[in-house]
Amino acid sequence: MTGTPRIVVLAGGVGGSRFVLGVRGALRGRGIDDTTSALTVVVNTGDDLWLSGVRLQPDVDSITYALAGVNDAERGWGRQGDSERVNHELQEWGAGWPWFTLGDLDLGTHLARTGWLRDGLTPTQVLERMSHRWDLGARLLPMTDAEVDTIVVLEDGSRLHFQEWWTRHRATLAPARFENPGIDAAAPAPGLTEALAAADVVLLAPSNPVVSIGPILDVPGIRQALRDTAAPVVGVSPVIGGKVVRGMADVCLTAIGVETSAAAVAGLYGARADGGLLDAWLIAEEDEAAADEVAGLGIRSLVRPLWMTDDARRTALGEAALTAGLADDRAL
Ligand code: GDP
Ligand code: CA
């Protein structure tokens, strides 16, 4: 392969943004200055919602803020140094959800977005516009312009919005299943399937397989576009040492009958050769014993350090994922 590689990453919020930082770092490390042309990020919008009259896009904002360097890395969401005056006032009015904090700076983002949506811009156009404020070094695409929800159905049949289940109940109520109303009528965002078709490498971030990567794959046309692309598809395990690193993704996996292990998540995505998605799967050194099981599925398994706790580790992981893809025969 010659020239600038074209990389497409599928990503959710926290794990997704850490990984995207790493891929951007790896591209820069390869001497590519214009990473915006090289790197397209397809972002989950399945947990977007309307609250207090504004449109929230949690995963889109996590990635935007992280790439801009204005995210609250410690807390894992929102803006660094944000305040909550407006949120307090909303609570006094009894508006919104008392357990769902909206920061003041964050609300500025939501207001700008909502205004543009009301002016008639599509979510793709809004995100394009929002990408100009900072030098993000990546092109961001929502998975779809359609409004898709994530609903958690509990054992007793009651239904909760994903954010209520996740943020209010901290995923402690056992889910029977997840539903994405609206997804069957959704179409991939404009330019998305074209980006997959033209890619040199496609990367699945170590995001929640059920409620971050899952909805992206379930937008009609995206899974097929992944199967059709000539580019190798390389995934990174969100499970390290048999545990999800952060958050409650294990509860989501259990609900769909998938064990919380690096090999089981690989099995969920499936081998490309077997009608699934993956050519290669990066697993942690802690899960080395699972390498044979992954290989047995027909997926090239690579044991690498998967912790993304600082810049150097993130970039090393981004580089490992790029190398795994670019070294694949079909990309040469
Ligand atoms: P959300 O949309 O904010 O829930 O975030 P994502 O779906 O993008 O990512 C959540 C997942 O990221 C978690 O389930 C973790 O397993 C994974 N994750 C977070 N930090 C790391 C890390 O340092 N290494 C790896 N391999 N996975 C991580
Ligand atoms: Ca999310």
Write the pLDDT tens digit of every residue in 45-86.
Answer: 999 999 999 999 999 999 999 999 999 988 888 999 999 999
In sequence order, the β-bridge partners of residue 301 are: 281
The contacts of residue 150 (CB under 8 Å, 6+ apart) are: 46, 47, 161, 162, 178, 179, 180, 211, 215
- End-to-end alpha-carbon separation of the chain, Å? 5
Return the ligand 1 atom nearest residue 237 CA. 26
Average pLDDT score over residue span 168-175: 94
Long-range Cβ contacts of 32-37 (<8 Å, 24+ apart): 32/4, 32/5, 34/4, 35/137, 35/138, 36/136, 36/137, 36/138, 36/139, 37/4, 37/6, 37/139
Atom of ligand 1 nearest to the CA of 16: 8
Query: Are the CB atoms for 9 and 20 separated by under 8 Å?
Result: yes
- Residue 287 DSSP label: G
pLDDT of residue 330: 46
Token duo for residue 121 = 């811009």
pLDDT digits (tens, 9 = 90+) for 98-122: 999 999 999 999 999 999 999 999 9
Nearest-angstrom CA–CA distance, 68 and 75: 16
Tell me the pairing of strands 201-204 and 7-11: parallel
Query: HSE-up of 9 (CA within 13 Å, CB side)?
Result: 32
Domains defined for the chain, CATH in brackets: 7-44+182-326 (3.40.50.10680)
pTM of structure: 0.97
Residue 299 DSSP one-character state: -
Average pLDDT, integer, range 145-151: 97
pLDDT in tens, 176-211: 999 999 999 999 999 999 999 999 999 999 999 999
Ligand 1 centre distance from Cα of residue 201 (Å): 21
C-alpha 207 – ligand 1 centre gap (Å): 5
Residue 178 is inside which H or E element, if any? strand 175-179
pLDDT in the model for residue 177: 96
**Ligand 1 within 6 A of CB of 245:** yes
Round to whole Å and give the CA distance between 278 and 268: 10
Which of 304, 296, 303 is closest to 273 using CA atoms?
A: 296
Give the integer Cα–Cα distance in Å for 36 and 20.
Answer: 12
209: left (phi over 0), alpha (psi -120 to 50) or beta: alpha
The rounded distance, in Å, linking the Cα atoms of 207 and 283 is 14
pLDDT tens-digit map of 1-52: 557 899 999 999 999 999 999 999 999 999 999 999 999 999 999 999 999 9
User: Ligand 1: does its nearest atom lie under 6 Å from the Cβ of 232?
Assistant: no
Q: Percentage of residues in the chain with pLDDT exceeding 90?
A: 94
3-state secondary structure of 13: coil
* Identity of residue 234: V
Radius of gyration for the chain, computed over Cα atoms and rounded to the nearest angstrom:
19
Residue 332's pLDDT is what?
A: 37
Strands 151-154 and 159-161, sheet pairing:
antiparallel
Residue in the structure block whose two tokens are 């150097």 = 312
Ligand 1 probe mutation, 9, 18, 162, most atoms within 8 A of CB: 18
The confidence band for 327, taking pLDDT boundaries of 50, 70 and 90, is: confident
